[in-house]
A and B are shown apart, each in its own frame.
Chain A
Amino acid sequence: MSDVPIPVKPKSRLRIALDSDLYYTFRRSPVAMVSAAVVLLLVLSAVFAPLIAPTNPFNPASLNLMNGFTAPMTPNAFTGETFLLGTDDQGRDVFSTILYGMRISLFVGVAAVFFAMVLGITLGLISGYVGGWTGTIIMRTADVQLTFPSILVAMLIFGIAKGVTPVEYRDQMAIWVLILAIGLSDWVQFARVVRGATLVEKNKEYVQAARLIGRTPGAIMLRHILPNVLSPVLVIATISLALAIIAEATLSFLGVGAPPTQPSLGTLIRIGQGFLFSGEWWILLFPAVTLLALALSVNLLGDWLRDALNPRLR
């Protein structure tokens, strides 16, 4: 009985992940761990905002104007209500507004990067694999777009989109237009990286083999080349996420982004900036610190990922 071999349990997915090099370097990097914790905390609180936030700041019917300008942790002079981080000029609870605002910032950021990624990968693959005139046109378009600052491109797209949207849908559309604007201004980096990697990959034996057995170019690009060019894309995506969040905040700060009735972090900072001299610092400070923490930790995480995935740096 005793020589019956104990069947080797196949390693679970979790085990594989925990044994991986990536996890090892992660555990060795305190910066990465702290920033991952911050990102996780912020993302979770944004996702569960309706459960955590004491009020729903996006429902104008729930606001009481007399609560306006209440300082943090101080009872309001008229209503006697107390707010953890104070209230803004409309009597909105700053804490709730930050939670809800962060949802918009994160959603716009993630969706814009996803959009830019899909667009950039597609165009990059086609440009690299097909080459010729198609590739040239795509890459020259990308070069031209690179000469404009991306925030300018985003503002241009936003302006045009706002012009063609009927007013009654403008508020609902604003978020999607933001995503489109930031996504379109951001695809170039993805396209360039993917194209470069594709040019290298397309001459390797496995691609030639796939071509020989008669797979279509679409299938080769998607099933064979794409998985092999993904790791640099992942790094760019992470760093782009931080930039997209900042871009959204910038647009909203300039007053061309999220509407004031559905404020994102940038809108909150814009509102708060008007009260800096008058001493209501909390309206500006808390959203700004949240934006800083979010963008910084995503960025640090991206930096770490880049180093971790680069074999030469290990």
Chain B
Amino acid sequence: MRRSLRLAAILAVFAPAVQAEEFTWAVNTDPQTMDPHAVNSAPVLGFLNNVYEGLVRRGKDMTVEPALATAWEPIGNGEGWRFTLRQGVTFHDGAEFTAQDVLFSYQRASNEVSDTRSWFAPVSDVVVVDDYTVDFMTSAPNPIFPGSIANWMIMDSGWAEANNAALPDKENGNYATLNTNGTGAFRVTAREPGLRTVLEPFEGWWGETEHNITRAELTPIQNPATALAALLSGDVDFINPVPIQDVARLKENPDVDVIQGIEARVIMLGFPHEAETLKFSAETTDANPFADVRVRQAVAHAINVPAILQTIMRGNAEEVSQLVSEAMQGYVPELAERPAYDPDRARALLAEAGYPDGFSFGFKCTNDRYLNDESVCQAITGMMAQVGLKATLDAMPVQNYWPELRADNYDMFLLGWSPGTFDAEHPIRFLAATPNEEKRVGSWNFGGYSNARVDELLPMIQSEIDPVARQAMIDETTKILQDEMAYLPMYVQPLVWGIRSNIEVTQRPDDFFILRWVTVN
């Protein structure tokens, strides 16, 4: 009797699951952590956008829209921004959302152990006015501040403190690495790193539900061919990315759809500006040839980007000459021209710099992060070899890659950068400004590129309200970065999603997959 009762109870629980709209999706990189302040990378932030929320968020067309704040306005003459918070919002564990959580999340996310601290470089102070009003004081007028914190997610202060997770721990992890407690439309019900992460809709969400998912599961599948096979067989409903070589074939298949767009991510090469010597050279062990701008220009002229796009990218990507793509704010159309493919010129530049026979060095590259990254790096290695730049390619998974770069274990590296704010200021702040812990800038400037004028221009760009004057400053910075070949931007990575044809999704150029917009038909 007891047994049959229990059976009935189980059946009752599972009964609605029959009509459940389950959704399974596969990505190539598992989110490294569930902590929204520990790692500033697209796989982490993109996934957690479904679980946590910020004061503001970006809509389907990337416009900034209210989320946990209902309104915001500048204070006085640009001394800061006042945010009015949404009332009646609860976290997944039932705790109420108040201004204290905003203050706590600010302190947590801007702490020196947080990867997101540079977002708060312009902030001088955060003042809780009342339970539902918070002032962000900035050291200079900052017109783009609300949009720049769209990925800053609010965590419950009581929950974090009770679980000893008041600060993120990137290296060792803590409670917040595996568990979540956000205000978002979905809550994480199971987390097995590298295997699967299960999400269920949060009943108490404040917003209006657009999706019809009852359960969603994220599975990381590293091998693109395996992911594609899973999509074709219907094991998963969505994959990101679709291997670029399979796009044409996939479009002919009636069971699946391909959604293509231009991503905001610029793929570029980075150089060791600061290094005294090369790390991985057989013969050039007492100098750093890349410190000479002519050598960096030689690299630029040696690489045939159109050929890479034509073959490896199958015509699905676009060339780019600056750290942001054409679709971003602050792009400089006058500086759209890339250094032409010209091996003779590259050889001449190398000879001028004192390396007529070239030199050997180590080239680091990811093999699971960007579309066809290893193939592209191999092709670059071959093209450079033709002018005497003998690179030893070392391609590795992304989880080993960032620590290698942080430890300066490279002579040249591949980097993809997607500006979280959709503005040209973003890469300048992260990649071009001289690394400075105190000012919280240059945190991804691995090579230690440093230019006094760029450092001077960055705060001016950040605080300039007049769009024309601001653009002039961005123009000047872009020109400096191009002339000095601080980085070598190559192409804008295409965004290719594959879905089963009974699924409707919305693709955003930042490659974030937003579950709220998924419909299963």
Contact = CB atoms under 8 A, between A and B. Distances in A.
Interface of A: 59-61, 63, 65-66, 68-69, 78, 89-91, 167-168, 170-171, 255, 259-261, 273-280
Contacts of A279: 249
Contacts of B249: 277-279
Interface of B is mostly: helix
Given A168-B282, A274-B225, A279-B249, A261 B243 contact: no
A63 B308 CA distance: 13
A276 B225 contact: yes
B179 interface: no
Interface of B: 224-225, 228-229, 232, 243, 245-246, 248-250, 280-282, 304, 307-308, 310-312, 362, 367, 374-375, 378-379, 381-383, 385-386, 392-395, 409
Contacts of A59: 385
A278 B248 contact: yes
Given A78-B310, A90-B382, 11 more contacts: A59-B385, A65-B312, A66-B307, A171-B392, A260-B395, A261-B381, A274-B224, A274-B243, A274-B245, A277-B245, A278-B245
17 contacts: A61-B382, A63-B379, A65-B382, A68-B311, A89-B312, A90-B375, A168-B362, A170-B394, A260-B393, A261-B393, A273-B225, A276-B225, A277-B228, A277-B229, A277-B246, A278-B248, A280-B245
A278 B312 contact: no
A169 to B, nearest CB: 9
A228 to B, nearest CB: 49
Contact of A168 (B224, B250, B310, B392): B392
B375 A89 contact: yes
The 7 nearest A-B residue pairs measured at CB: A60-B382, A68-B311, A278-B245, A61-B385, A60-B385, A168-B280, A63-B382
B311 A260 contact: no
Contacts of B381: 60, 261
Given A60-B382, A277-B228, A69 B243 contact: no
Contacts of B409: 167
A151 B309 CA distance: 38
A277 B311 contact: no
Contact of A167 (B282, B307, B385, B394): B394
B263 to A, nearest CB: 21
A276 B249 CA distance: 11
A310 to B, nearest CB: 44
A278 B243 contact: yes
A61 B378 CA distance: 11
Contacts of A63: 379, 382
